[in-house]
Copies of this chain bind each other. A is one copy, B any other.
Amino acid sequence: MLNGKGEQFRISTQTSEIILKAAAEYNYFPNRIARGLRLEKTETIGLIVPDIANQFFSSMAKTIEIESRKNGYSIFLCDSLDNISTEKELLNLLAARKVDGIILAPVGTGSDHINEFSKNGIPVVIIDRYLPDTKIPYITTDNYLGACQAMEHILAMGHRVVACIQGLNGISANEDRVRGYKDTLNNNSIAVDNSLIVGDDFGEETGYVQAKLLMKRNNPPTAIFALSNLISLGAMRAISESGLKIPDDISLVSFDDQPYSALLASPMTTVEQEKDEIAVRAVNILLERITGAKDERVIEKIMIKPKLIIRKSVREM
């Protein structure tokens, strides 16, 4: 009876005002649980991220929460701890909680469980990467383009031996970045040296360990392209421990701009992902699927252009 629109259908002025005053006076709010049970929609969205403490995900979470709330939806926050079986459990948990839809930043390379899950009728939108051979809409950064932009800059500054510390092998975000790295080298007539492509996860430790190894090579790289903010953080730690300076001794470019990027020992050149746009569009696409506003045979596959922010971490050779 007090659903806020029922009144408009019948009496406009009198009843509405009385009801509203009474509601305010008695501090009445409709029970969303009962409403959810009855309507078979809860106006909730599940958000699963591998690590909410990571600035990249927390700033998208912020935008997702705000944009969802504007539309009456609340967010169940779930941290999959970068663990694929946790991610699986979380999908089931959210299903049991009858969320209307899920925004998922997947973990690892396996995706069978996601494809399987998406058959159950709860709409899923994927962010940050995409799955091969899937019917699930996604919205990510154009990682290939971002890597090309970064590499073009490094090469334009005169570097010829450029290492790449990559993240988790096999996922689209990583593969696209590596492909951009290789293609840009090739386009500039520099042979790809596979021994300069190292690393296997997006964590800080990978950056640290691999940077140390790279610096010990006989023919060390003059520049490093780090494929995540944590990798560059680790690489900086290694470089700093070795007594070397950026960019004098070695240059560094990182994927993912951070609030502190401009304030580092050497303000860092980064590939900035348009997190806000990814987040807003993910919410809007999900809401369209929830409300059925759009032909669901259309699978959105969206890549947002990143932006190269040139600071002072690449030396001119």
Query: Which stretch, A69-77, A183-191, A280-288, touches the partner chain B?
Result: A69-77
Nearest B residue to A93, CB-CB: B74
Q: Does A237 lie within 8 Å of B260, measured CB to CB?
A: no
Nearest B residue to A234 via CB reads B263
Does A301 have its Cβ within 8 Å of any Cβ on chain B? no
CA distance A79 to B52 in the complex (A): 14
The verdict on A294 contacting chain B, using a C-beta distance below 8 Å, is no
Whether A31 lies near B233 (C-beta < 8 A) is no
A36 and B30 alpha carbons, distance in the complex (Å): 15
User: Does A310 have its Cβ within 8 Å of any Cβ on chain B?
Assistant: no
Count of chain copies: 2
Which B residues are CB-close (under 8 A) to A77? 47, 61, 65, 75-77
Interface flags for A85-129 (1: CB within 8 Å of B; 0: not) read 000000011011110000000000000000000001000000000
Min CB distance A19 to B, Å, is 16
A258 at the A/B interface (Cβ < 8 Å)? yes
Task: Please provide the chain A residues from 257 to 314 with a CB less than 8 Å away from any CB of chain B in the complex.
Answer: 258-260, 262-266
User: Given known contacts A233-B260, A260-B258, A262-B237, is B92 in contact with A29 (CB within 8 Å)?
Assistant: yes
Give the residues from 47 to 86 in chain A that come closer than 8 angstroms, CB to CB, to chain B. 47, 51-55, 58-59, 61-62, 65-66, 69, 74-79, 81
- State how many angstroms separate the Cβ of A199 from the closest Cβ of chain B: 18
Q: Which residues of B contact A240 (CB under 8 A)?
A: 263
A34 to B31, CA, bound (A): 12
Q: Which residues of B contact A55 (CB under 8 A)?
A: 53, 55, 58
Whether B32 pairs with A97 at a CB distance below 8 angstroms is: yes
Shortest CB–CB separation between residue A312 and chain B, in angstroms? 11
The answer to whether A98 touches B66, judged by C-beta atoms less than 8 angstroms apart, is no
Contact A65 B37 (CB under 8 A): no
Query: Quick check: B59 and A53 within 8 Å, CB to CB?
Result: yes
**Can you list 24 residue pairs at the A/B interface with Cβ under 8 Å?**
A31-B96, A31-B98, A32-B96, A32-B97, A33-B37, A33-B97, A33-B98, A37-B37, A52-B58, A53-B58, A58-B61, A62-B79, A65-B77, A66-B79, A69-B93, A74-B97, A75-B77, A77-B77, A233-B259, A236-B263, A240-B263, A258-B260, A260-B264, A265-B266
Known: A52-B65, A76-B77, A260-B264. 12 other contacts (CB 8 A): A27-B120, A29-B95, A32-B98, A33-B36, A33-B98, A52-B52, A53-B58, A53-B59, A62-B79, A66-B79, A74-B97, A236-B263
